Amino acid sequence: MKDSSGDDRNLEILTARFQALLDLLEQERAALIAHDGAELEAVVGEKNRICQEIANRLAESPELTARQNFDELDDDHKSLLNLAQLARDSNLVNGKILHRSQQSVREILSILSGKSLDGLYEQSGQQTAVPEPGSTAIARA
């Protein structure tokens, strides 16, 4: 490594950014569970900003992302990689929560309207509800 003080500073900044990202991912999960759209919008905006900061910092420091054997890394690098893994895993969990929530909403809409949202899209990219064969909207019943 060329400049160890610069590398140390980059590691400190990245560690702080990943820790902030983990905190935001916890807030995002709470907002998803609580169905709090306003909080979710604020958290996702901040999460995107921090992810962009991380990406920019990593792009400026290619030596931090050079492929190396994990066992040969120092403790600070290992800690950073572990934080990145935790953030990735947490983001995957939040994505699963969001997917399941969307799936539930689609099922409820299908039951109430007697129409399916599966597979049909308008030119705008929005899904269009179509009547299910032999179904009647529960709202009419």
Q: pLDDT band at 17, cuts 50/70/90?
A: very high
C-alpha dihedral sign at 135, 138, 140, 141: positive
Provide the residue range defining the domain that includes 59: 4-113
**Nearest-angstrom CA–CA distance, 75 and 81:** 10
For residue 9, tell me if it sits in a domain.
Answer: yes
In a domain, 120, yes or no: no
Could you tell me if residue 118 is inside a domain?
Answer: no
Is 125 part of a structural domain of the chain? Answer: no
Q: Does the reported pTM lie above 0.85?
A: no
Residue 132 resides in a domain: no
**21 within some domain:** yes
d(CA 114, CA 138): 7
What CATH number corresponds to the domain at position 73? Answer: 1.20.58.300
| 94 vs 29: CA distance, rounded Å | 6
Per residue in 69-117, pLDDT (tens digit) is 766 778 888 888 899 999 999 999 999 998 888 888 778 877 777 776 5
Location of structure tokens 């950073």: 80
Report yes or no on 133 lying in a domain: no
Q: How confident is the model at residue 40, as a pLDDT?
A: 92
Taking CA atoms, 136 is separated from 23, 107, 129, 130, in Å, by 46, 15, 13, 12
Structural domains counted in the chain: 1
Please report the pLDDT score of residue 20 as a whole number. 97
- Residue 99 in any domain: the answer is yes
In this prediction, residues 54-66 reach a mean pLDDT of: 81
